[in-house]
Structure formats: structure tokens, C-alpha cells
Chains A and B, each alone.
Chain A
Amino acid sequence: MTETKINAGQYIQHHLEHLTLNLKTFTLGEGGGFWTLNLDTMIISIIIGIVVFGSMWLAAKQMTAVPGRLQNFVEMIVEYVDKTVYEISHQKSTFIPSLALTIFLWIFFMNAVDLLPVDFFPRILGVFGVPYFKSVPTADPNATFAMSLSVFVLIIFFNIKAKKVGFLKEMLTFPFGPYLFPVNFVFRVIEECVKPLSLALRLFGNMFAGELIFILIAIMPWWIQWPPGAIWAIFHILIITLQAFLFMMLTIIYLSMAHDTH
């Protein structure tokens, strides 16, 4: 039951809780520690993936010589990503552009869920008895770390595949020369570990801060809410595009650095 007066702190806390599934007992609610699944993140990210990539697949399947609007739009994005990858890596490959395209579109649309009103999903689902719902998947560090750890694994995999034993030699000799190999190794390990950490936390930080400011604006009285809400929403459109673009660019740069030597 809802109380008639919820204070501001409780409203904020309520909007910062995830809908969790405890995998040890398969019930909704906390208590699983590591073994909890944030259902709201998974549901929204899977739905967005299906919708976005499904419509791109549809555009590709119904290709006509004179492109319609959807096909035009998809072609524009695909060409742009391909050109960007070629400018940075100077190689024709199909893996890196596909990965970059996936990352860009998926992150962009997951971030864009933040532009819906804060209470939109929680209220609608609250009618069905769902207690908490945090609607932006990328404001969940689980989602951003999942993506950046996958990119990290790919970086290591590409390093080994492209350079084979040269990878070890590069790790041990790179900045300072072969006799200082412990120092080289430590620096290289730190540099490699900062990459996924910064990718994930950058995206998470921007999206979480954006969502929190939307929640704070939602607490203000209705007659004063519209100017700051409008200004922040317009600025946020820039931020979500920028963050998706940046994640894609950094992925491309790291993967193409893994292909060739310094």
C-alpha cells in the first residue's frame, strides 16, 4: 500500500532499487549476494536488443534498389561505422565493424530509455505488483561491466591471435627496454586493466548521475519542474550520444591497437 506522504529520501531510495531475482531460491527480492539477477536490467536490455537489431535485420532482408527510409537510415549508420573503423585500423575486417555497430546502437538505445519520465515504467509495473524497477540498463554497473569485460577478453584474444609469442615479448620489453622487464610488465598490466575499468565506470557514472538528476528534478513541485527538466533532458541527449559513440571509438581503438604493434 502506498502512504499518502512519502518523503524525498524515500522516493529517491525507491527509485534506486533494482528488481532482483535471488537465484538461490528463485524468488524476487534480495539476499542472494553474488547470485542475484537484476531482472529489470536484463529484461530491458534484451527487449531493446531484439527491437533494434530485429529492425536492422528486417531492413537488410527487405533490401530494394531504391532504398526506403529505414534502409536508408540503417545504411547511413553502417557506412559511418565502417568508415570510422577503416580510418583507425586501416584493415578490412568484418569483425570489428560489426562489434562496433552493435556496441554503438545497443548502448545508445539503452541510454535513451533514460529520456522517458522517471516514474513511467515503475508506475505502470507497480499496477502489476512489481515493487522496484530501475529502467535504465546502463545505469546498472552490472551491464556496463559485462560489456567492458567482454571487450577486455576480446582485446587479449586479438593480441594473442595477431602477435602470438610476440605478445609476451611486447609485454616485457615495451617502454623501458628488456633489462627492466618487471617494470614493463607491471605498467602493461595496469594499462590493460584500466581499460575495461574506465570503459565501464565512465558509462555507468554518466548514466547514473543523469538518472539521479532526473529523479531530483522529479521531486520538485510541478509548477517549477519543467524548465530544469527540459534543459537537463536536452543536455542529456548530447551525453547519451557522446557516451555511446565514445564506447564504440575506444573499443575500435583498443582492438586495432591489439592487431598491430606499437
Chain B
Amino acid sequence: MEIASIIGQVQGFSVLAAGLLVSLAALGTAVGFGLLGGKFLEGVARQPELGPMLMVRMFIVAGLVDAFAAISIVMGLLLFFAENPFLRAVINASQATVGA
């Protein structure tokens, strides 16, 4: 039964970690895109003829802002849905000691 409580603890912390990964990525991306879009609109309002060029630049920077958020989300989703390596380590350790 102790194994079950240890596994439960590891799972709980993994869920917290995955949740933090996804949510902080979302937070950073949201603030970043908001600022980016705001500056773009300001620029277009000052000089509308630069509209298309600024839009191309905006998409480039949007892709860069997206990068680390996408990486964090992938880490979080991997923890959630694919192999959880922390749980795997606990299970291997418990099988080694208990021999079950």
C-alpha cells in the first residue's frame, strides 16, 4: 500500500508540473501576442501604407514568440498523454526492491 501512496504522490506532482507547463506557456504567449498586435495596430494607424510590410514582419515575430510556448506545451502534453518518466522510474525502483 505504501507503493500506491508513493505512486499517487508522484502522479499528483506530475499533473501539477504538466499543468504549470501548459498554463505558463499560455500566459506568456497571450501577453506576448497582445503586445505584438497592439504595437502592430499602432504602427499601421500611424502609417497605413506600410500595412502589408508590417503584417509580414508581425507574422515573423509571432512565429518566434510562439516557439518556446510550443516547446513547453509539447513537454506538458507528453507528460500528460505519453510516457510519464517519473512514474516509470518509481515503478522500476519498486519492482527492483519488491521483486514483484
Say whether B91 faces chain A, with CB atoms less than 8 Å apart: no
Contact of A242 among B62, B72, B81, B82 (CB under 8 A): B62
Q: Are B71 and A9 in contact (CB under 8 A)?
A: no
B45 to chain A, nearest CB (A): 24
Contact of B74 among A198, A204, A249 (CB under 8 A): A204
Say whether B18 faces chain A, with CB atoms less than 8 Å apart: no
Complex CA gap A184/B56 in Å reads 33
Interface centre among B62, B64, B69, B81 (most CB of A within 10 A): B81
Interface residues of B (CB under 8 A from A): 59-60, 62-64, 66-74, 77, 81-82
Contact of A246 among B60, B77, B82 (CB under 8 A): B60
Q: Are A205 and B74 in contact (CB under 8 A)?
A: yes
Inter-chain contact total with CB atoms closer than 8 Å: 48
Residue of B nearest to A202 (CB): B67
| 8 further interface pairs, Cβ-Cβ under 8 Å (given A205-B69, A205-B70) | A9-B81, A13-B82, A198-B68, A201-B71, A205-B74, A206-B70, A208-B77, A242-B63
Q: Are A245 and B63 in contact (CB under 8 A)?
A: yes
Q: Are B63 and A243 in contact (CB under 8 A)?
A: yes
Say what secondary structure dominates the interface of chain A: helix
Complex CA gap A242/B57 in Å reads 12
CB pairs A–B below 8 angstroms (18 shown): A12-B82, A13-B82, A16-B81, A201-B74, A202-B70, A202-B71, A205-B69, A205-B72, A208-B74, A209-B70, A209-B73, A209-B74, A212-B81, A242-B59, A242-B63, A245-B59, A245-B60, A246-B64
Which 3 pairs between the two chains have the least Cβ-Cβ distance? Answer: A205-B70, A246-B63, A202-B67
B65 to chain A, nearest CB (A): 10
Residues of B within 8 A of A245 (CB): 59-60, 63
Complex CA gap A245/B72 in Å reads 22
Q: Are A212 and B77 in contact (CB under 8 A)?
A: yes
Known: A13-B82, A249-B60. A206 touches B66 (CB 8 A): yes
Interface residues of A (CB under 8 A from B): 9, 12-13, 16, 198, 201-202, 204-206, 208-209, 212, 242-243, 245-246, 249
Residue of B nearest to A243 (CB): B63
Q: Are B67 and A12 in contact (CB under 8 A)?
A: no
Known: A13-B82, A16-B82. A202 touches B74 (CB 8 A): no
A259 to chain B, nearest CB (A): 20
Residues of B within 8 A of A212 (CB): 77, 81
Complex CA gap A217/B63 in Å reads 24
Complex CA gap A16/B82 in Å reads 8
Residues of A within 8 A of B77 (CB): 208-209, 212
Complex CA gap A12/B77 in Å reads 11
Interface centre among B60, B70, B81 (most CB of A within 10 A): B70
Residue of A nearest to B63 (CB): A246
Complex CA gap A159/B42 in Å reads 38
Known: A12-B81, A16-B81, A212-B81. A205 touches B67 (CB 8 A): yes
Residue of A nearest to B75 (CB): A205
